[in-house]
Amino acid sequence: MSLPQPAHVSAISQPRVGRSRAIAPRRRRLTRQHRHRALAWEVTGRLAVNLGLSLVALSAVAKLVPYHQAQRQALRDLNASVEQAEIQTSRLKAEFSRYFDPAQTSHIIQEQGGRESEKHIPIVWVDPLSRDTATP
């Protein structure tokens, strides 16, 4: 003889088939939709932030390009003036060494004074035909 079981215990232990299956897929769909929607918002946010950062970077580069070109032009000008200064410096060094070289002193005196050295013998070229025509 078995005792009858209470009704509320049997109802709790066995879920209702019709109701639980109808509700469960809706809950899953809602949670999936919420997950997909949250993922879409996250991706949209990331794209917006990256796009904003890209625009800021591009505007900074656009502002820096003319400045960079101006600096390069200034550098070219400075290099050209340095080259001219080096050429002039080498010329001045050559003149300095020439004027203050003891071996060049006699040559410089002759150039500037117009005097000839004692060892210099002047040579005068005479055209022989001009002597013959001038004597008749």
Domain of residue 34, residue span: 23-114
Give the total number of structural domains in the chain. 1
Per the domain annotation, does 14 fall within a domain? no
| Residue 67 counted as domain residue | yes
Closest by CA to 109, choosing from 118, 119, 117, 120, is: 117
| Model confidence, pTM | 0.44
Q: Is residue 9 part of a domain?
A: no
CA–CA–CA angle 32, 36, 40 (5° rounding):
170
* pLDDT, one tens digit for every residue, the chain (136 residues): 566 666 555 545 555 555 555 555 555 666 878 888 899 999 999 999 999 999 999 999 999 999 999 999 999 999 999 999 999 999 999 988 888 888 877 777 777 776 666 777 777 888 877 655 655 5
